[in-house]
Structures are given as structure tokens and as C-alpha cells.
Structure 1
Amino acid sequence: MFFDTDNVPKRIPNGRKYNKMWLINLLQSYCSVGFTPVDFQYIRNTIQFFVQNAKTAIELMNINYQIRDEENKRIAIYVNSSREPASVHYKLTPEQMHTLKLSMKKRYDVSRKDLYLRKIRFDQDLVNRGIDIFLDRRSCMTATLQIIQEDFPELLSLNVSNNKIYWLDGLSELIEKAPHVKTLNLSGNLVRTVWELEKMKGLKLEQLWLEGNPLCSSFQDHSSYVSAILNCFPELSHLDGMKLFPTIDINTLEIIKPYKESYKGSENLKNLLIQFMLQYYLIYDYGDRHSLLSAYDADACFSLAITFNSDKEDLSSLEDYFKDNRNMMRLKNSSLRMQLLKHKKHNIVTCLHELPKTQHDLNSYVIDLCVQTEKMICFSVNGLFKEVAGKSWGCVRAFTRTFILTADRDFRLCIVNDEMILRNASPTEIRKAFSTSRHQNLSVAVCAMRSTLEWH
């Protein structure tokens, strides 16, 4: 990474793996003076940016190898002299900035807090005054974001489609300049890799358009595309105008009460479990499963067992699960049974990450709450999913997942025990799976509730 100031440049190697905001906040915590990074860029495996204060440059140089990353590895910082960055050298004149600001105000919808900059380089007011605004040029993007910060601080939606943008280092500053943006339209540009999108991690996007960029055709299937984008923006609900997840209204869910006289649970508990499951499986299907680390207790346990519909069943499509199978009716080696029991959350999530990519049918779920105390919940989830990648693509599975949850010191739900039982779906289940004619609801079986949960 390079830090440049007053002709003094700096660099941190292997910086590509670091999130921009995380790194800047870390460096800032070690500096006695505040600084604003200029032209923050990811170049190969390094990060480069400039600072405009010599004292800051010296302080950054002095903490070379003195700070550590999240993996406890020392961070190297190199400082060297250099020219001023392009965004400063080719900075727009005050007159050009004024013209650009007027043009942008015409394109701003006050009621929707929406800024429409599609093909801004062809804006007639700019063309008539001989002003070239190419948003792939760092100086132009910097000027645009400066105006957004000063004049449209509450911006919610930004459209920069069809501007021949091929790298997103400049646009990554949107995180600081307009942190409230929820909708971003990048369609029709020249973005080639997901790595460019990762530069904007931290932006709380709900809607994103990417169609027409080369990166869209770089994936084997749509599921891989969605998964990669969600890894960058986990709060995304719409991609290229399409809703990613089914709409489930927890206020209209059907509640099955097999023993009405023993039903003593609260609506809050039901909603709590449903929200927990929705969040878990949306990450499991569409996000990076490594993100599930935060869902597990440090000393949690996980086991997987395969069951069979008949002795003549073709089990070849389940071979990806066999290496983790702990079916004790068939596994006689006690040492191996213990080895297959996954201890510690890192081992659990590593195992889950290696399992085939899936799409769960949320509307097939039946959730059965078995035991509830003030400090623990035990419940099971039955449902269907299909594999969406690999040689068993399209195969439908039936599963039962039993979870035991407790609350940590921050009153956050975490999994201490997780058991998955898996089998091939029956022909009837396969016909019903992912049926568009079925109602958008979940069946929740709630029974044997023993006391009121007091978690927050």
C-alpha cells in the first residue's frame, strides 16, 4: 500500500486482502493527527493512497511492522516520495465544478433522493462548455463524489450506468461520501471481476444492477453469480431488478398447535426463531458460509448423518456427504465416530463450506420447538433443498436439522449443537418442492413450551 504526501509516498504490500474502512480506521487509531486518504487504490497485491500532511507520512512510516491484522500478522508500511495523484493533478477548475454541480442538480430527484448520472459524459450542458466527464477517470469521479457529499448528503439511489466504468477504486469512496445509498445502478459498464465490487464492501446496498458488465458472463451459473455478489453485499435483496429471496410475511404464518392446552409460548418467540432460520439459510444458500462463524458458539458441535429410503436406493448422488456421515447404525468404528463429530465453530463452518451449494425451499419448512428454558432453546427444522452446482445439480434432498441455541453475554442467539440428518427426497416430495402454486408461508409446529423466554 502506498501513502503519498508532499512528494513522500508510502506502501503496504499484500494489502489487497484488507477492507478499506477497516484498514484506514486501524491506521488512524495509531496516528495522533487525522488524515484523509487520497486516491485509495488496490494495485495488484498492494494498496496505494496519498496523504497531504508530512507529519502523517512520518507517523505512518514509524508504525511499519508495529500493527497487526486480524490474523495477528504484522502489516508493513513503506513510504516513498512521488508526484501528486491524478485526481489532484487533473482536478476540475472551480468553473468546471460549478457547471458539473448545476448539471447534477438537474438530474437529482429530491423526493426520491435519487441521482441519475447515466451517460453523464453526453450531458448537453457539459458538452457545450467543453467539459469531459469520464467517470472511469479518477479526477472526474472524485469531483462527482465531492458534489454528492456537499449537495446530496442524504442520497439513497445512484445511477451511473453506461459510463464505461471498468474499475471501482474511485467509486469505493461512496462509502464515506454517501453512506446512506441503498440502490446502485452499474449496468452497462465495463466491470470485469467481482474483486472490483469487493472494493465497495461496507456499502449497505439493498438493490444493485450489474447487467451488461463483463463480470456477469464470467460465472458458470446464475447461482454462483448471486453467491459471489451476496458475499460482497450480504444485505442485498434485489439483483438486476430481480428479487433474490422469497417474500415471507411472518405475521401471516400458519401455527400448528397439536396440544392446544399446553401451548404457552409467545408470538415473540415464534418470530425470533423464524427470523433466526431465515437469516441462517439465506447466508447458507446465497452468501459466504464462512459468515456463519458468528452464528456458532466457540465450543459448538456439529454432526451429519445420512439415512436411506430403501436398501435398493441409488446413493451415488449423495457421495459428497459420505465423508462426514456419522450414521451410528452403520459406522462401527468408535474412534471414527468421534473424529467425524465436528468440534469448535471453525471446524463446523469449514465442513459446511465444503458441502454442495444449495437452494432451500423455505416454504417446505416445518419448525418444531421441542424444549425451551430461560437459557436454552432446542428445535428442529424439516424441509427440502436442491443442489445448484456440481455433478448432482438439481437433485432434491430432504433434511432434518436439530439446533440447540443459547444466549451469549450480549444476549445474542448462538448455536451450541447442530445435527443434520439427510436423505434423498421421495418422488412426492420432489413434485411438491419449489412449487410456485403453493402459498408463501411456513408451517410452524410449536409444542412443549415450558416457560417464557427472557432474552433480548
Structure 2
Amino acid sequence: MNDQPTDYSSIDSFHVGRRRKPNFTEHETRQLDLGSNNISNLYEFRNLQLNNLEQLSLASNQLKSFEELVHLKQLTHLNHLLLKDNSLISSNNKRSISRDDLISIIQQKLPQLKRVDDIDLPTKIGFGVDNEIIHLPKSAPHCVPQDMQSFLAKFIDEYYRLFDTRGRSELHACYQDSCMFSLCIAPTESSMVPTKSYKYGPLIYESRNLKKIFDDNKRTTLLRHGKTDVLDFLRIKFPLTKHDGKSFHVDVFSTANNRAIFTVNGLYREIDQGVNGPVRSFQRTFTCSQTPAGVLIVADHIMIINATDSQVLNMTRSTPPASSSTEPSSSKMMESQNVPGPSIDIQTQMIHRFSQQSGMNIEYSKLCLSENDWNYERAAQKFQDCLKMNVIPPEAFKKP
């Protein structure tokens, strides 16, 4: 029997049997088999010098979470990973996931891979940047070039006038025949700023949030193609809205090659169910192109999230902009004729009483009552519920 220590310097691959512990310090290892070793986490890989490892088998182990794969990220030459016969589950605790979802999740964790088990992975498209911190050039907030200001003011004013019209039939003239549209509803559960708990209803199923949807077919389906498909969605599925023009902020990204790319950020209220409907905060990115028929929208993406308490309060304070026409619009006439609730004098008495009993200032007391259709008991119950959940902002109790 040879008692001399074994020299692994020329070994390109080796197999690790059950409960055997290999020497992982060999930089030249190309293949490593750790199958059937009861491995439940991969944290130790962060400390191993496997700089040239190309193939790794972790089959038939006890791995539970895809999050463990991040510990293999530093293995930049790794291109083939075997994971079969592990009880892996996704971050949303779904044990049965499709092949497309599996590929997407693994590629997000390990973009260097080319093959998983017997599956050849598609080419991953992304930014060729390895730095964890990217230093972006400074830019002025809400930047609109001088020569774009007049055009954008007219475009935004006209577009949102048509968008806030019941039926939205006149929007047909704003979009190119081959245009695209997508909607993304941002999650609120991880938001650093408390938001209103308005429900989205059926609209939530139309959201193309790429952090929530991994299936390529569903992603494609939720991307609306062509004027007919886009307008059908906006007319039928998107709620009737009233935008607050005073909340708008505009940023222009590009004006090259007869195209303008810009975002509009602001607030709107859904008025399908009345004047006290949910208030949403939105960011809408337009790509417009100069055509013989004029400037048309070729791409339209909107991201929405529930508004915060302060945003709702600011929107309640603001008054609608004056119409350029001498005659009031039909929508304004309808609103003025159908305002629910008690008289102004009674509302004022209710506000002061509610402020005294709740301890909130006049503005927040008015907001709470108006959002509950001036039903005093319902508003009081809502106040108690919000107080227990500690979601009322401190400024609500600041009085002059």
C-alpha cells in the first residue's frame, strides 16, 4: 500500500461518493460529481477555489430552494449543472413549475449556464456588466428639451382629454397600426412607503409584471399588438379614469431618428363606481414616431400602483384645470349634477366633529369622510381599523 499523499494537480475530473469529503482546493478541476450526498445548501461553495469548474452534478440531494444557486454565481466557467431529483421549490412556494419557469428561474440565478440536466438553455439576453454598482451620469429631474415643450404640452393635454372620455373611441387617431401596449401592476407588499389598499379587480390578471410572470407564452399574450388589440383593451378592460393634470411630471429620454421617447408620471382616479373611486399612481412611457399622418404612438407602457395617503390628499386638494372651451364638457356637467352627500354646511359640521373625536386635522378628517361617502359611522370604523394597523401617517394628527 502506498502511504505517499496523492497528487491531484493533473486531475481534470473526479467523483465524490456518499459522505466522502474531497479536496476542493484544486484550481484545475473541470468536472465535479456531488450527487447523492444529502447536500441541503450550497453556502460552502462561496469559499471554494473552483475557478475552472465547467460541469457540476448536484443530483439526488436535499436542495429545497432555488435561492441556493446564488452561491454558485462566482463559478464563471460553469456551463452544465445537474439538479434532477431535488425537491426544489420556487420563491412563491410552488412545487410544480413548468419547464419554461424552471429555465427562467435558473438563468436569473446563473446566467453563465448553457445546460441544466438534459435541457439546453436558450441564449440569455442581458447587460454585459459585472459591476454590482453602476455609476450613472447626473441628469436633471423632469427634463424636457426646450424645443419639445410646446409639442408635449399639446400632446399630453389632448391625449388625456380623449383618454378620460367615456368609451375612448377617439383614441383611434393617436395610435399607429402596428403599435404595442403593456400594463404592469407593481406589488405593494414590499413597498417602503405605505399605500392605499385599493383592490385592482379583474385588471390584475392583465398585468405583465415580469417579476411575477415567467411563462414566455403568457408574457407574449399580455403584450398587446396592433391598434385593434390595444384599443379594445383600453376601451373594454381599462377602468374609466379622471387624471389629475397638476400631478403630472414629464421626462424625455430621446428625440432621435424622428422618434420621441418620454414618460408621464402622475395620479388618476377610477370613476367607474363613482367620484370616490380608487386613486392610482402611474408612470406611462410613450414612444411616438413622426409619420405622414402626424405624430403617432408606436409603443405604450403603463405601470400603476396604489397612491399613498399624501398623494390622495394632494389630489383631493387640487382643482381640475380650466377647460379651453367656453362650454362645460358633458362629463363635468354630469359630475356637478350627481355629487352625492349632505349639504356643504352639514359636511363642515361633520368634519369638525370628526376632527375633535379622532384627533386628526381638518384635511384628513375631510378625506376620511369623503372616501366613505359621508357615512359618519363607516368613516369612524375605518379610522379605528387604520389606527389599529398603524397605517395613518403622522401628519394626519398635526394641527395648525
Q: Same fold (TM over 0.5)?
A: no
Question: How would you bin the TM-score normalised by the shorter chain?
Answer: 0.3 to 0.5
Q: State the structure with bigger RCO (CA 8 A, min sep 6), 1 or 2.
A: 1
TM-score calculated relative to the size of structure 1: 0.37
